[in-house]
């Protein structure tokens, strides 16, 4: 039992930032992200057999569960009237990181997820293909379109700053 507790604590320590980042990226506010974060790690705790798998398997499982949990939370929020909260960027300390995350968060979910997982979590196109159950060319297209959208947004921002 102590081994399982240690394995769980190690998994939380290792993947906490990744899960938090995905939750913030998907949901846009700290409170909903914290709820999803807790649900994801509660599911991991209940699924003790997952803790015995290799690190890459655990990481992929956590990403899949996190994305699904965020979808469930988003569905819940869309069915229940809530007041929208401001985006919370306190997770990222650097101002440029906050601005970049704001722009990434404004992308449609298909592009947002692959951009975040590729550039922030370091997944290759092949790994993303398996993880997101899509073809490699689809992932490449999403990355390209997402980068193009980000480039357009950042170009607009810099032009606006020049006018000021």
User: What are the boundaries of each domain within the chain?
Assistant: 1-80, 94-164
pTM over 0.75: no
CA 61, chain centre distance (Å): 13
Could you read off the pLDDT of 32-50 as tens digits, one per residue?
889 999 999 999 999 988 8
> Residue 67, class by beta-carbon neighbours within 10 Å (0-12 exposed, 13-18 middle, 19+ buried)?
buried
- Which tokens in the block code for residue 105? 């968060």
- C-alpha 91/C-alpha 163 separation (Å) is 30
Could you read off the pLDDT of 94-141 as tens digits, one per residue?
666 667 777 888 888 889 889 988 988 889 999 999 888 899 999 999
Please state which of the four CATH numbers 3.20.20.70, 2.60.40.10, 3.40.50.10490, 1.10.10.10 is assigned to the domain occupying 94-164: 1.10.10.10
**Under CATH, which number does the domain 1-80 receive?**
1.10.1740.10
């Amino acid at each position: 039992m102590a081994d399982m507790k240690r394995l769980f604590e190690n998994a939380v320590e290792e993947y906490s930032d990744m899960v938090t980042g995905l939750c913030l990226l998907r949901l846009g506010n700290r409170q909903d992200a914290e709820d999803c974060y807790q649900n994801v790690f509660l599911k991991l705790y209940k699924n003790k057999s997952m803790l015995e798998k290799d690190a890459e398997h655990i990481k992929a499982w956590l990403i899949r569960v996190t994305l699904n949990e965020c979808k469930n939370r988003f569905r819940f929020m869309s069915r229940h009237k809530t007041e929208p909260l401001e985006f919370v960027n306190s997770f990222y300390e650097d101002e440029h990181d906050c601005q970049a995350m704001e722009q990434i968060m404004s992308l449609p979910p298909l592009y947002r997820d692959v951009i975040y997982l590729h550039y922030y979590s370091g997944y290759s196109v092949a790994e993303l293909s398996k993880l997101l159950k899509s073809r490699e060319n689809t992932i490449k297209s999403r990355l390209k379109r997402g980068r193009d959208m980000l480039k357009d947004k950042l170009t607009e921002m810099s032009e606006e700053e020049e006018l000021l």
